[in-house]
Structure 1
């Protein structure tokens, strides 16, 4: 348990190193997600320069390598005379260690392995981001650098998959030992890396296409609105059945936003309540809503929709509803511009 706690703390330190360096360059880290084999820092904005990308990417592996060396050094001091057995008889060496030295003897090499693994130039691993920083500096084009790093990342992912298949079938590539478990684990890592590399490039492409695009250019202007005292049945008959809209801002008698009602809200309401229950009883109140303004950047609106897992945002100007920006509208805009650019 102690070794697991120290290893988990090491992963947190790895990701915090990314976060601290990122903050220096104005990069906002929204959250850190921990996995069995590491962690991922979710950032709100891409690095502003190749140097920012380089230092933020390299900070994590350097932190892991530093911790690995430090743990081994401290563990060696705690081991005392038993340290001479490390190379000649590892089993006897671990048996002679105390609890603290044993923990450090395990997590030290694991941190070194974590640091070296993350330096593999398989985007979006840290090493892949270092590669993207170098390509960005050479080419001067962030999207082209991302595409190049993503291609290298997918190539490395397929090498992992083929290596895992070989190991599982008893014919591993040089440097790997045969074994079904090891092979399946390598296949899993390869599939994960391949998907991550593709998604990272798609995210960069979206950021590039939406750069400088405001919500006003994409939103649906003057969307149909309803009042809170409207019966649910009337909403269904007069609005849902007569249009392709699936969400309606709910307004007061002055046109101010008080909430939003969606098709899913109607579905959750018992049908016997449709005649007497009002929209206000099933809507999401404005206090719980994420909204946008016409000048909000479209990419920021998309991030908000993804973060809140909603399909639309009411657009507010001077306390009145002036539009509705939907995730599908953003996607349609991206598709049209992607095809026009031949991307």
Structure 2
């Protein structure tokens, strides 16, 4: 059974394609802040302008929700389990089952959000240009179109954590066959964008002979303070993923051979030596691994006593089910570590139902960190 992700705390607004829609309390704080900023832009901050500003802020977050909902719908179209759509202080995110994902699925799912905002923005622009609504409602409609076009343009930028960064990652991944290379390129793209945001806020006014606006500088620094750490985290993750390439249960295990529970230590030593194994897996009456024996422990029994010594004296018990498959890769082993850490020290590595090795959790953790 796949492990269910931890639920995000916040206000629940129902579900979409099986995903919980969560609004974090910090979102409400940002709504008030944006309402005040939009209202003050008119030159006067009062109840009327604040309500108008709040309406514009709500439209912005509604656009963010549609953006995230499009990610969810795209992931679900590929048969992925979608867990959550979360609106946060700085926007939102969608959590879905990304195990064994392909570059195509990753790219299309990432593109779905900006594409939805682009379509909505263009449709609203056409309606607004046609004069469907006039006066204040028309201005609000025009703002909704602008907000969606802005979200589409910003999110398509080629750097993590923007959706364009995930598209870039998928493209490089498809071309090189190495996902960590794609993530590394996209992470550096995110860093360039973070620095570029600040440079744009300072350089553009100076080139036009104006003094940089304090408000623009503050917002650019705030945005960069979000983008740079996210890109840096992605860069560190790419390095971790790179180290995990080629890591599997087979590459980390010690070779082992299965032995019945009712044989002697002498039988274990002879069987292990015949196949060059360093470990023996003790099988219960139903054939399920019940313990393991290292050759050092088996050989510590005096040779003259091995033929009369049962396995109980040298077996380290194993909890039932502490088995991984020889085909399990690094991602699979990470999941197994979460499940078994603190419950056992080793796993039995199985191939076609037969034990072929013993893998220590500490060795797996050191290889995967």
Which category describes the TM-score, using the shorter chain as reference length?
Answer: 0.5 to 0.7
Deviation track 1:251-279 (CA, whole Å, cap 9, x = no partner) reads xxxxxxxxxxxxxxxxxxxxxxxxxxxxx
Deviation track 1:202-234 (CA, whole Å, cap 9, x = no partner) reads 3344456557656xx79xxxxxxxxxxxxxxxx
Aligned length: 232
Q: In 2, Cα distance between the equivalents of 1:332 and 1:104?
A: 55
Could you say what the CA RMSD is over the residues aligned between the two structures, in angstroms? 4.0
Task: Tell whether the 8 Å contact from 1:153 to 1:194 is kept in structure 2 after alignment.
Answer: yes
Q: In 2, Cα distance between the equivalents of 1:42 and 1:73?
A: 33
Q: In 1, Cα distance between the equivalents of 2:73 and 2:205?
A: 43
Task: Tell whether the 8 Å contact from 1:50 to 1:137 is kept in structure 2 after alignment.
Answer: yes
TM-score, structure 2 length as denominator? 0.51
SS in 2 for 1:45: coil
Q: In 2, Cα distance between the equivalents of 1:38 and 1:207?
A: 27
What is aligned with 1:198? Answer: 232
Q: In 1, Cα distance between the equivalents of 2:171 and 2:108?
A: 11
Q: Radius of gyration: which is bigger?
A: 2
Deviation track 1:126-172 (CA, whole Å, cap 9, x = no partner) reads 111121222122222211121122122212222223444x36xx955
Q: In 1, Cα distance between the equivalents of 2:365 and 2:216?
A: 40
Shift of 1:110: 0.9
TM-score, structure 1 length as denominator? 0.55
Q: In 2, Cα distance between the equivalents of 1:176 and 1:114?
A: 27
Q: In 1, Cα distance between the equivalents of 2:100 and 2:223?
A: 26
Task: Tell whether the 8 Å contact from 1:21 to 1:56 is kept in structure 2 after alignment.
Answer: yes
Task: Tell whether the 8 Å contact from 2:180 to 2:241 is kept in structure 1 after alignment.
Answer: no
Flag structure 2 segments of 5+ consecutive residues without an equivalent.
1-53, 254-320, 348-358
Q: In 1, Cα distance between the equivalents of 2:171 and 2:210?
A: 30
Deviation track 1:9-51 (CA, whole Å, cap 9, x = no partner) reads 2211111111221233344443333245532223442662222
What is aligned with 2:152? Answer: 115
What is aligned with 2:289? Answer: none
Distance 1:132 1:197, change over 3 A: same
Deviation track 1:65-118 (CA, whole Å, cap 9, x = no partner) reads 1111223334445645x5xxxxxxxxxxxxx334xx332221210110110011
Distance 1:175 1:10, change over 3 A: farther
1:138 matched to 2:191: no
